[in-house]
Structure 1
Amino acid sequence: MAKKAVLIGALDTKGQEFSFVRNILQGAGIETLVMDTGVLGTPVFTPDISSDEVAVAGGTTVALLREEQDRGKAIAAMTSGVAKLVARLVKEDAVAVLFGMGGSAGTTVSASAMQAAPVGIPKLLVSTVASGNTRPYVGEKDVMMMYSVIDIAGLNSLSIRILRNAAYALIGMVQGLQAEAPIAVGTKPMLGMTMFGVTTPCCTQVRESLEAKGYEVLVFHATGTGGRAMEDLIRSGFIQGVLDITTTELADDLVGGIFTAGPTRMDAAGERGIPQIVSVGALDMVNFGPSETVPPQFKDRTFYQHNPTTTLMRTTVEENRELGKRLAQKLNNNAAQTVVIFPHGGVSLLDMDGKPFAGVAERMALFEGLKSELSPEIFLIETDGAINDPAVAERIATEFLTLFNK
């Protein structure tokens, strides 16, 4: 089957707009496949995949959804249906690019389809909610969102400009991919590394060292989404080894910061049994937004204003002890393939002598909690230096090569 631009949306309420985009694509010589997700009425034009086919894939029928008149249930069914159908099209290698548009409901449905496609397939979503919190729609995938500015409700002089730009963006992506030579895959072992601004010196040195030895290192910003993205790629088989230097997302999960990656963070490497070097980078901090957004129960804690939109809070002795235990419990599931490096001199650029988060007692509690739960099968390496000391970075790279080459 030839690869096509897959357009996903409600043709009963957004059919005119989808027809406009489809016609531009077809005029550029790009084949399209339109998937209807509308359940309210008759589609403006005949789709390639009907809304009833989508509903059946979601475990129901359009007739039943109309009879029940439950909007939430209808959205859930169509969300499930499009994800399954897109996954099938991807497996058949039939998807050149994915496109969707709509309000909150249409965005939810289209985004679920994009989540079913792997990283690398172009994904563009024109949405009325693209200027707000896009995390629920983007998730850990390379979804591009374009703000519609006005509601998607008919064609007018402004909506035509926006939808035309979206269509041309799709054309550019498809034609660009057709013109490019295929990217070589599998020529280098692919590794995953976690990094934060306060662990950048360490991570940069490790990355450069391993790249010089023929490895490809993917660096994930440990902001919650970054950790989840790495876990997803590990489970998908893309990543063959892990350098989890910056485990700070565990602190946000424990205390309630904004950069939590959820309770399953650090599970994937154990599930797949791949080698991993782990450290305690940036476990000295919990992340919040602007200072006025910090929950009132933390008003007496130690803070550092990283930038106008990010407030860092120092973790306490008690929190560090618990973090050490949680970290150990995660790692015990992959004991044979894990090495832990603990830098007693500091876990971030802020946790050093004379710096705002310097804390010997906190680091000791973190170490004690870790050691109390860590499996004896796991090699625990202690260093006197801080995590960003060149000698520590060199030790991380050396230990990884030893572990990986086993």
Structure 2
Amino acid sequence: MSQEPCVLLLGTCDTKLNEFRFMKNQLKKNGVVKVILVDVGRTPSTDPAVDISSSEVLSHLPENERQDFNSVTRGEVINIMIKAATILVRNFYDLKSIHGIVSLGGSGGTSLAAGVMRAALPFGFPKLIVSTVASGDTSSFVGESDIMMVPSIVDIAGLNSLLKIVLGNAAAAIEAMAKMNFERQSKQEDGSKPRGKFRIAITMFGVTTPGANAAMEYLSAQSHEVFVFHATGTGGRAMERLINEGYIDGVLDLTTTELADELVGGVMSAGSDRLTAAGKKGLPQIVSVGALDMVNFGARSSVPEKFHRRLLVEHNPSITLMRTTQDECGKLGEVLSRRLKENSKDSGKVEVWIPRKGISMMAEKGGKFYDEDADKALFEALSKALMRTGIKLQERDLTINDPEFAIGMSKRLLEMMAV
């Protein structure tokens, strides 16, 4: 374990050596933190500012996976270096030798650094990248992680007065975060739960907010810690990751709408890992069908032409909702059931709850997405697919936003967790 705060500076020193040297000097200037500059460039740098060479980074790979960089493409170089640097950085983290990580670069350098940060470091560990692409769509870099990105304003191609300000601010930020992380680690504040209390994940969407709020208030009143995830794709992926990393003790998956986007082609899919982590971990989970009546797109003009004749509702200028059809709802019931069956090592710790009077605000009687036949197809598909699996199906003549439904799920989850 390090006896002082330490920042790891991850850099492509073959292309941006001067900028990384400047950043290292900024970090060392106050003498508050130790700095380790790791070269992840294609061509090894021999500059004395480099603490760990790219050759040393690559030595962490098994011998049969090492390659001559002269024979591979730039993209392949990045992927190889991500794999090697991930092992190195994870080793540092496991030994509690680093307390923050920072990098800078264009799209390639950002992809490399972000790939390492996502794979090697958990939520809460300070991660920062100064990037030329930070002001655009950063979802491919950040993913479900908590990487902080700072726009470089100018290209990272030679030091100038403006870039020095940006890099100086970034250095000050990661220094402060690393210092805080070191102090937290020294006090052994590891985020573990208080004895006898649970950490519970809840999923919500705008149209399931009242139900999620009722569950959250009930569970919080029992002094349990509640993590609410907005089911927008990123939220679902973040929850699955936190479950895998051991932050969650039980799951109240009220809102599984991301499955609809994955199936139909909306913009808020959480990917094929959704609804897998809790089962694999053997955690108690209660799953419902919140907002499976809708698929999400951006502005109305962004909706694919093949859906123009479908029932569309402009939720706001940036979000357009499309009602799922009877056929799609039947398939969603099968997908949800299959994910649970294939990934649950203990079916007794899984239940599916159905609110027969409405799976979202918009699907209640009188709502714009009210479709009794579509909902029936969803419910029947679930009932058929879960038969003889050991996964219980609970049906209630309530809406998903009825406090009685949400609190009933919460009480049952606590009973399952107490066993």
**Normalised TM-score (structure 1):** 0.95
SS for the counterpart of 1:126 is strand
* Pairwise CA distance, 1:129: 1.3
Letter in 2 for 1:201: P
1:329 to 338, 349, 353: 338
1:50-199 to structure 2, matched below 5 A, reads 50-58=53-61, 65-68=68-71, 70-115=73-118, 116-178=120-182, 183=189, 185-187=192-194, 188-199=197-208
- The total of aligned residue pairs comes to 406
Structure 2 residue 203 is matched with structure 1 residue 203: no
1:385 to 386, 394, 398: 398
Q: Distance in 2 between matches of 1:138 and 1:174?
A: 19
Number of the residue aligned with 2:352: 340
Conserved? CA contact 2:353–2:394, under 8 Å = yes
Q: Distance in 1 between matches of 2:170 and 2:320?
A: 36
1:219-238 to structure 2, matched below 5 A, reads 219-238=228-247
SS for the counterpart of 1:280 is strand
Q: Render the CA deviation track for 1:197-243: whole Å, top value 9, x for unaligned.
A: 11111111101111211221111111112111111121222211111
Q: Distance in 1 between matches of 2:327 and 2:245?
A: 36
Number of the residue aligned with 2:36: 33
Bigger Cα displacement from structure 2, 339-348 vs 65-74: 65-74
Q: For structure 1, which runs of at least 5 residues remain unmatched after alignment?
A: none
* Pairwise CA distance, 1:387: 0.4
Q: Distance in 1 between matches of 2:142 and 2:53?
A: 25
Structure 2 residue 400 is matched with structure 1 residue 396: no
* Pairwise CA distance, 1:64: 5.6
Q: 1:204 to 1:43 in 2, by over 3 A?
A: farther
Letter in 1 for 2:161: S
Q: Distance in 1 between matches of 2:72 and 2:183?
A: 47
Q: 1:294 to 1:58 in 2, by over 3 A?
A: farther
Conserved? CA contact 2:125–2:181, under 8 Å = no
Q: 1:174 to 1:346 in 2, by over 3 A?
A: same
1:273-312 to structure 2, matched below 5 A, reads 273-312=282-321
Q: Render the CA deviation track for 1:292-342: whole Å, top value 9, x for unaligned.
A: 111111010111111221111110010001111111222224321112110
Q: Render the CA deviation track for 1:222-267: whole Å, top value 9, x for unaligned.
A: 1112111111121222211111110001101110111111122111
Q: 1:13 to 1:380 in 2, by over 3 A?
A: same
2:23 to 16, 21, 28: 21
Conserved? CA contact 1:130–1:145, under 8 Å = yes
Conserved? CA contact 1:284–1:347, under 8 Å = yes
1:371-382 to structure 2, matched below 5 A, reads 371-376=383-388, 377-382=390-395
Conserved? CA contact 2:39–2:45, under 8 Å = no
Q: Distance in 1 between matches of 2:178 and 2:247?
A: 24
Bigger Cα displacement from structure 2, 71-80 vs 120-129: 71-80
* Pairwise CA distance, 1:378: 2.2
Q: Distance in 1 between matches of 2:63 and 2:142?
A: 26
Conserved? CA contact 2:202–2:228, under 8 Å = yes
Q: For structure 2, which runs of at least 5 residues remain unmatched after alignment?
A: none
Q: Which runs of 4+ in 1 moved over 4 A?
A: 58-61, 178-182
Q: Distance in 2 between matches of 1:375 and 1:396?
A: 20
Q: Distance in 1 between matches of 2:198 and 2:402?
A: 26
SS for the counterpart of 1:245 is strand
Conserved? CA contact 1:82–1:109, under 8 Å = no
Number of the residue aligned with 2:13: 11
Q: Distance in 1 between matches of 2:384 and 2:166?
A: 58
% same residue: 43
Over the aligned positions, Cα root-mean-square deviation in angstroms equals 2.0
Q: 1:27 to 1:191 in 2, by over 3 A?
A: same
* Pairwise CA distance, 1:17: 1.1
2:45 to 28, 42, 45: 42
Q: Render the CA deviation track for 1:96-152: whole Å, top value 9, x for unaligned.
A: 101011111111111122111011110001111112221221122110011112211
Bigger Cα displacement from structure 2, 333-342 vs 90-99: 333-342
Conserved? CA contact 1:15–1:45, under 8 Å = no
SS for the counterpart of 2:102 is strand
* Pairwise CA distance, 1:176: 3.3
1:268 to 259, 263, 277: 277
Conserved? CA contact 1:286–1:312, under 8 Å = yes
Conserved? CA contact 2:14–2:41, under 8 Å = yes
Q: Render the CA deviation track for 1:264-293: whole Å, top value 9, x for unaligned.
A: 211111111111111000000011111111
